[in-house]
Structure 1
Amino acid sequence: MNRSFVFEKFILLYLPWIFALIFKEQPIFSYFIAWLGSFYIFFMTLTGRIVPLPDDRSFAEQIMRPIVLVQIIFAGYMCCTSIFYFMSLLGYNNFTAVPFYLPDPYKLALAAQCQRYYCLGHAAMVSGILFFMQYPKAPRYRVQPGKFAQLLYYAAIFSFPLAILFLKLPGLSQFANQFNALSFMASALGLAFAIPQKKFVNIAVCAMFYALNFYAAMTSGFKEPIILSVMVLGVFLYPIYKKMVLIIFVPTLLLLFLVLPTYVNVIRQTSWAGDTNADVATSEALDAAINQGATADEGTWTFLVGRLSEIGMFTTFVESTPENVGYYHFELVKQSLIVLVPRILWPSKPVTEQLVMQRVYDAGVINPYSRVSAKPPFIVDAYLSWGGWGIFIFLFIYGAAAQRICQQAESLFGGYILGAALVFSGLFQIFWRGQSFEFLLNNVVWSYISMLIIAAILRRARILEPA
C-alpha cells in the first residue's frame, strides 16, 4: 500500500469540514456543508474510494466490521440526527414552518460550530479505522466450518445464565452487561445460521433467548436496546434474505422511531415509578404507542428535536468551555484510569457517575439538584479536553482502537463470524454509540480482558484450533 497516496486520499475526508469552516460567517450554509459532509464521508469510505474495502467477503457479509456498522451507528447518530434541532432553530415545528418566526443568529452560529466539530470527528474516526484496516489477515485459530451453528447455539445457552450470575455477584455487574450483549448477539446470529439450515431445535432455543433479550429491551425504558434488537437481527439475516429484510425490517425501524417516544415515556411514568409491574406497564405503553405514536405528533417532534440528537447539550458545553470553564486537558484521562481500579481493591474509589456529572454541572447543562442524568458523549469529552484538536486526536484513537480490537477478535476466534459478528459486536457494543471517557475506557478494557479469557477457554476446550 502506497502510504503517501493513501495520505493524500485521507485529506479528501476533511474537505467538508474545511469548506464549512471557510463559510463559518454564514451559519446556515456552513451547517449544511458540515451536515451533508458526513454523507459524503459515508459514500467515500463505504465505496472504498479512500481505502479499498476488504475483498475476503462481500459487503453484505462484513457489515459488522467497524468501517460499516460502527461508523453508521456512531457517526450516523452523532452527525446526522441534528437536522431536526437545526430545523427547530429555523422555525419549523412538525416539519411545518412557523409564520413570522425570526431565528436567533447566535444559536444558529453555535449549532453550526458544533456540526463542524461533528464533521471533523467523523473524518478523524474513519481515518483511524482506515489507517489500521489490514485485510485479509489469516486468523491464528480456526473453528471447523460445520460447527459454527452448534457453537452459536451453545453460546446463546451459556452466556445468558452467566449474565444473571454476574449480576448477583457484588462488583461484577459490568460483566453481566457484557454477557447480556453476548447472549443477544449469539441468539440473533444463531437464528441467522439455523433458519436456512432448518435446524428446528437450534431455531427454537435461539428464538427463545432472543425473545428474552427483546423482552428485557422492551421493559428497560430505553429506546436504543429495542432499536438495536431489531436492527441486528436484520443485519444478520440480510446476506441470506436481502428482499425480506428490506421489505420487513427497514419499515419496522422507521415505525419504531415514530412510536417509541410515546412507548418509552409511558414505561418510565408507570414502571419506573414503582406503581405498576413491568408486564402491565408494557401493555399500557404498547396501547399508548399504537393509538398515539404512529403519527408525527408534538411528542414525536419534541423527541426528534431534543432527544434524538445531543447537539443541544453540545452547544451548552461549547458556550461554557473554554469561556467560563477551562479545558480539562489530561484530567478526564486521569479520571478514566482511576475508574479502571476494581472497587474491591479500592473501597473509597470515587463514584464514576459523580465524576462524570461534575463537568455537566460546571458547564450549566443541568442543575446539580436535578435528578436527570445527562452524561456527555465521547466527542464532547474530546472537545472539553483540548477543543478541536482534542476531537481530532481522540476520535482518531477511537476509530483505531475499534479497528485493532476487531481485527484481533477475528484472529483469535477464527475469522469474521465468531470474531467480528459475535465477540467484537457482543463485548464491544459501546463503540456503536460511545460514552464518556470514564465509562468507555472501563468498558473497553474489561471487555478486552473478557475476550482474552473466552479465547483461552475455547482453546483449552479444543473448540479453537491453531490455523
Structure 2
Amino acid sequence: MPNKAERYLILYLPWVLSVMCNSIPAVSYLVAWVGSLFIFYICYSGHLKPMPADRNITEQIMRPVFLVQVIFIGYMACSSIFYFFNLLGFGNLDQTGDLFDMAEEKIPLLAQCQRYYVLGHAAFVTGMLWFMKYPIEQKYTYDSDRLANLLFLVAIFCLPLTVLSTKIPGLTQFYFQFSSLSFISGTLALAFAIPLKKIGYTAICGFLYLTNFYQALTSGFKEPIIISVLVLGIFLYPSYKAVVNLVFIPVLILLFMYLPTYNQVFRQNAWADNVSSDEAYELALDATLNPDEEISNWGFLVFRLSEVDMFTNFIQSTPDKVDYYGLQLVGQSAMAVIPRIFWPGKPITEDLIMERVYDAGVILRGSNVSAKPAYIVDGYLSGGVIGIFISLFIYGAAVQLISQKAEQLFGGYILGTALIFCGLFQIFWRGSSFEFIANSVFWSYITMLLVHKIFVWTNFLKPI
C-alpha cells in the first residue's frame, strides 16, 4: 500500500477535537486520552497500512509497531488517568474530595499536556508506519539448528563484558548495551530451551534468567523487574499460549500492584540508610508481603507511573518565563555522543539536562533529586507543538528503521528484532531525555554493527 500523506490525517483527529474542547478542560482531557486508544485501533486495524504478514502476530510481538508502541505510548499517554482521578478528588478510587480546590488550576494544565500526548502519539505512529516495510529483504542467513547454542553463548559472553565495561575507561558507553543484550539473549535462550526439553540446558538457562531477575530485584528500579517477566512471557507465548495467559498475565498484574511498595521500601533502605542490597531486598520483600497501611500504591500510580505532573510544571514556565530552546538540546545531544576518553573536559550530561529542570522551577537548584524530562517534554521545550511533532515523528521513524536494519543484517526477526533490537535499543521502550536517547542509540547502533561483523567472521551469518 503506497504512502499517501492525507491517509495519516485521521491520526490527528483526536488532537483537533481535544483542542476544540479546550474551554471544558475535563472533556478536553478525556477526548485526548480516549484519542490514544483510537490511534491504537486505527494502527492495528490496518486502515493506514496492513500489519506485517510475514509472521503470525504472536510471533512478531517484539517488533516496534507492537511492543515499543504499547510500552512507550502506554507509559507516556495513557498512564495519566490516575492523576486525572486524583484531581477529581479520588484516592485509591474512593472519593475524598480534598483535592477539588486544586482541580480548577490543575485540570486545564493536565488537559493541555494530554493534548500534547495525543499529538505526539499521532506523530510517532506516522513516522513508524511511513517507514514500515515488511517482509525485509534479507542479506544474510544462518543455520537455525545452531540458533539455541548461539543465544546461550551470547548470554555467557556478554556477562564478563558487562563487568569489564565498568572497569575499563572508555567502555562505560557500552555497559547498558552489554547488560541488556546478556539479559535478552539469556531469556530468549531459556524460551528456546524449554520446548526442547533438554533438562541440563534448560537448567543452565534458567539459572542465568534467575540471576538476571535477582539483579533486577536489587537494582532499585521497577522497569527491569517488569521487563524480565514480560519478555519471557512474550518469548514463550507462541509455544505456550495457555500457560502464558494463566500465569504471566496475573503475575504482571500482581507486580503492578505490589512493586511500588517493594521498590519504595528497598530504596529507603538501600539508598538512604546505606543497607546492603541483600538486606534491603529482604526488608522490602517482608514489607510487601506484610503491608503497612501507611504505604499506599496510589501515590505511585498518580505521581510515579506517569510523568504528567512534571510536564505541567514545564508548560507553566515555557515559553512564558523560559524561552524555547530551539536546537540547543539537539546540539547537547551531539556532544553527549562523544566519549569522555576523547574529551576529558566534556560537560556532564546529567548536569546539562538538570539545568532546564532548575530553570523551569520543577525542583530547587541544589536538591538531591533527579528529575530528568521525558522525551516529549524535550520536544515541547525545543519548539512547542512543532517540536513535539518533529521529535516524535523522528522517534517513530528511528525505531522502525533500526529494527528493519537489524532484521536485514541478522537474517530475520529472531536474531534481528528479538535479540539485537530489543537487546541493544531497549531505551526506546520508555524513552528518556534527548541527550540520553542520542548517546544510547548511537552507541547501540555501533555495537550492532560490531556484533554483525563478529557473527560474519565466525561464519554464523552467511551472505545470501
Same fold (TM over 0.5): yes
Instruction: Work out the number of aligned pairs and report it.
Output: 463
Matched, 1:377 2:374: yes
Say if 1:141 and 1:411, in contact at 8 Å, map to a contact too.
yes
Aligned to 1:106: 105
1:263 Cα shift? 0.7
Aligned to 1:221: 220
Cα RMSD over matched residues? 1.4
SS across alignment from 2:279:
helix
CA distance in structure 1 between the aligned counterparts of 2:102 and 2:412, rounded to whole angstroms: 53
Say if 1:94 and 1:298, in contact at 8 Å, map to a contact too.
no
Aligned to 2:205: 206
1:106 Cα shift? 2.5
Q: 1:332-411 residue pairs with structure 2 within 5 A?
A: 332-411=329-408
CA distance in structure 1 between the aligned counterparts of 2:105 and 2:277, rounded to whole angstroms: 44
CA distance in structure 1 between the aligned counterparts of 2:230 and 2:298, rounded to whole angstroms: 23
Name the TM-score, length of structure 2 as normaliser. 0.97
Aligned to 2:277: 278
Say if 2:128 and 2:396, in contact at 8 Å, map to a contact too.
yes
Aligned to 2:137: 138
For each residue in 1:291-318, what CA deviation from the matched residue of structure 2 results, as whole angstroms up to 9, or x when unmatched?
A: 117x9x7521111111110000000000
Report the residue type matching 1:178 in the other structure.
Q
1:46 Cα shift? 2.1
Matched, 1:3 2:3: yes
CA distance in structure 1 between the aligned counterparts of 2:16 and 2:273, rounded to whole angstroms: 51
For each residue in 1:125-160, what CA deviation from the matched residue of structure 2 results, as whole angstroms up to 9, or x when unmatched?
A: 111110000101221111112111111111111111
Q: Which residue, out of 15, 28, 31, partners 2:13?
A: 15
CA distance in structure 2 between the aligned counterparts of 1:2 and 1:281, rounded to whole angstroms: 55
1:102 Cα shift? 4.5
Aligned to 2:298: 301
Which stretch shows the higher mean deviation, 354-363 or 262-271? 262-271
Q: 1:118-157 residue pairs with structure 2 within 5 A?
A: 118-157=117-156
Matched, 1:182 2:181: yes
1:14 Cα shift? 1.1
Aligned to 2:72: 74
Report the residue type matching 1:403 in the other structure.
Q
CA distance in structure 1 between the aligned counterparts of 2:367 and 2:249, rounded to whole angstroms: 38
Unpaired stretches in structure 2, ≥5 consecutive residues: none
Matched, 1:318 2:311: no
What percentage of aligned pairs have identical amino acids? 54
Aligned to 2:238: 239
Say if 1:91 and 1:102, in contact at 8 Å, map to a contact too.
no
1:268 Cα shift? 1.1
For each residue in 1:177-221, what CA deviation from the matched residue of structure 2 results, as whole angstroms up to 9, or x when unmatched?
A: 111100110011111111111122331222121111111110011
1:249 Cα shift? 0.9
CA distance in structure 2 between the aligned counterparts of 1:60 and 1:130, rounded to whole angstroms: 19
Q: Which residue, out of 436, 439, 458, partners 1:439?
A: 436
Aligned to 1:89: 87
Aligned to 1:417: 414
CA distance in structure 2 between the aligned counterparts of 1:329 and 1:138, rounded to whole angstroms: 38
Aligned to 1:57: 55
CA distance in structure 2 between the aligned counterparts of 1:228 and 1:318, rounded to whole angstroms: 31
Say if 1:183 and 1:209, in contact at 8 Å, map to a contact too.
no
CA distance in structure 2 between the aligned counterparts of 1:462 and 1:3, rounded to whole angstroms: 38
Unpaired stretches in structure 1, ≥5 consecutive residues: none
For each residue in 1:393-435, what CA deviation from the matched residue of structure 2 results, as whole angstroms up to 9, or x when unmatched?
A: 0100001011000000000001000000000000000000111
Which stretch shows the higher mean deviation, 243-252 or 114-123? 243-252
Say if 1:86 and 1:111, in contact at 8 Å, map to a contact too.
yes
Aligned to 1:32: 30
Q: 1:281-292 residue pairs with structure 2 within 5 A?
A: 281-292=280-291
Which stretch shows the higher mean deviation, 374-383 or 197-206? 197-206
